[in-house]
């Protein structure tokens, strides 16, 4: 038996006027998901406890099978693991976004124009973060911290003995808003704010940003720090569930969870974390892992979430359609040749295009078994938020993996 989780990040939504008051899941042509849904065990599940942040970190930990209330130590440490950064027990890791802030003057007068600096490419971003590191890495009485390049707009800062109880806001939560009321607060906030302000002097007139403006692209003119946490300690998937597997993602967060769980992290050429990712390449990589003897593969696709954060309903619909046609279809064509399989398909959290950020609502899921029909009498034949609500409600999403692994 082979086990697959296909995680469609941020796929769930609410009715969108532009789509005729349909959700992107309802609007999308996704015949493969719908066919699976018609005979699957279906329902909704709570991936993020109400008192915890509605982030992909908490939500994906749940889907991987880890109780976030027990194992969550912050987002950025998981990303740091994927970046091969060594964390000491007293290190605080922080996510460092390259962002585009609009306006002029101090931070108080700025707006969050683009949390991803136009989804800046990794090579350009690496050069910018290296410039930040050369001028802003610090080892003094004020503190010891260092900056490290990641993928696209997503990077990392490591702060030795850095505080954990700073109030920091994810930049995608304040798209289009004044940043004034969302600036750092609490212990260490003055240093974080100073670092963010100092970054503008390095980035604003950097040759890369001069070139980006000349081509009509958003400049990466500030860093934005958030997602702080300490080194995680996860039991392995082998220890918890007795399986050996792989994780396939373009996103450091998901790779980091997989690596911490002692799954193999598989690189796919052309996997970008956005709408134009290599969907087919992810499917082929997953099949190769299963054929090579892995029991389990976790396939993560970021595209629906990115479209949700950008407020792009049509593009989010397209992302779902491309997952279905270019990834799921390829899996379903070859999986029967490998043997019996069970596949769990779900988002980690909703990312409604109307508000452009995550919410805590339960998400739809389907669990398909190639050997048998798991549907209830009268089950619908389309994978949507409303149709999934007619099925089973699972209060704690971290228990879903046990259902996936049932014999």
Q: In the 8-state DSSP scheme, what is residue 324? A: I
Instruction: Name the residue range of residue 328's domain.
Output: 2-73+234-404
Q: What is the pLDDT of residue 205?
A: 94
The residue out of 196, 229, 262 marking a domain boundary is 229
Residue 226's DSSP bridge partners are 95
Whether 290 maps to a domain, the answer reads yes
The residue out of 229, 254, 269 marking a domain boundary is 229
User: Do 244 and 386 fall into the same domain?
Assistant: yes
Closest by Cα among 378, 350, 376, 343 to 364: 350
Sequence-ordered list of residues with C-beta below 8 angstroms from that of 98, at least 6 positions apart, any chain: 116, 117, 120, 125, 128, 129, 153, 155, 203, 220, 222, 223
Per-residue pLDDT of the chain (407 residues; tens, 9 = 90+): 999 999 999 999 999 999 999 999 999 999 999 999 999 999 999 999 999 999 999 999 999 999 999 999 999 999 999 999 999 999 999 999 999 999 999 999 999 999 999 999 999 999 999 999 999 999 998 899 999 999 999 999 999 999 999 999 999 999 999 999 999 999 999 999 999 999 999 999 999 999 999 999 999 999 999 999 999 889 999 999 999 999 999 999 999 999 999 999 999 999 999 999 999 999 999 999 999 999 999 999 999 999 999 999 999 999 999 999 999 999 999 999 999 999 999 999 999 999 999 999 999 999 999 999 999 999 999 999 999 999 999 999 999 999 999 87
Whether 334 maps to a domain, the answer reads yes
Q: What is the CATH number for 33?
A: 3.40.720.10
User: Do 225 and 272 fall into the same domain?
Assistant: no
The residue out of 194, 213, 229 marking a domain boundary is 229
Q: How many CB atoms lie within 10 A of CB 264?
A: 15
User: Do 123 and 181 fall into the same domain?
Assistant: yes
Q: How far apart are CA 109 and CA 175, in angstroms?
A: 15
User: Do 318 and 242 fall into the same domain?
Assistant: yes
Residue 97's DSSP bridge partners are 154, 224
Total count of domains within the chain: 2
Residue 145's DSSP bridge partners are 138, 159
């Amino acid at each position: 038996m082979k086990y697959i989780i296909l995680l469609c990040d941020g796929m769930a939504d609410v009715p969108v006027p532009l789509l005729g008051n349909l959700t992107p899941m309802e609007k999308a042509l996704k015949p493969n998901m719908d066919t699976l849904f018609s005979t699957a065990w279906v329902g909704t599940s709570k991936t993020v406890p109400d008192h915890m942040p509605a982030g992909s970190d908490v939500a994906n930990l749940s889907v991987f099978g880890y109780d976030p209330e027990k194992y969550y130590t912050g987002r950025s440490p998981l990303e740091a693991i994927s970046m091969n950064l060594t964390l000491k027990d007293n290190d605080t890791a922080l996510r460092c976004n390259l962002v585009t802030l609009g306006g002029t003057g101090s931070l108080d007068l700025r707006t969050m124009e683009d949390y991803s600096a136009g989804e800046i490419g990794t090579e350009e971003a690496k050069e910018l973060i290296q410039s930040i590191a050369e001028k802003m890495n610090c080892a003094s009485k004020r503190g010891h911290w260092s900056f490290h390049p990641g993928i696209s707009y997503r990077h990392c800062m490591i702060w030795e003995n850095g505080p954990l109880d700073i109030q920091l806001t994810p930049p995608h939560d304040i798209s289009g808003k004044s940043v004034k009321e969302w600036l750092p607060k609490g212990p260490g906030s003055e240093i974080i704010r100073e670092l963010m302000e100092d970054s503008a002097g390095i980035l604003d007139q950097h040759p890369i940003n001069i070139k980006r403006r000349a081509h009509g692209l958003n400049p990466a003119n500030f860093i934005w720090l958030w997602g702080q946490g300490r080194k995680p300690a996860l039991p392995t998937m082998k220890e918890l569930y007795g399986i050996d597997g792989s994780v396939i993602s373009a996103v450091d967060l998901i790779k980091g969870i997989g690596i911490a769980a002692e799954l193999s992290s598989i690189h796919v050429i052309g996997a970008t974390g956005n709408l134009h990712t290599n969907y087919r390449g992810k499917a082929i990589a997953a099949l190769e892992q299963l054929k090579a003897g892995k029991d389990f593969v976790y396939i993560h696709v970021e595209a629906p979430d990115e479209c949700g954060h950008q407020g792009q309903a049509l593009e989010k619909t397209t992302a779902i359609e491309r997952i279905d046609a270019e990834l799921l279809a390829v899996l379903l064509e070859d999986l029967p040749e490998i043997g019996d399989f069970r596949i769990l398909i779900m988002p980690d959290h909703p990312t409604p295009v109307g508000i452009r950020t995550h919410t805590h609502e339960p998400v739809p899921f389907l669990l398909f078994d190639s050997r048998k029909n798991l549907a209830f009498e009268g089950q619908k034949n389309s994978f949507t938020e409303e149709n999934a609500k007619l099925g089973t409600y699972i209060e704690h999403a971290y228990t879903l993996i046990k259902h996936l692994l049932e014999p």
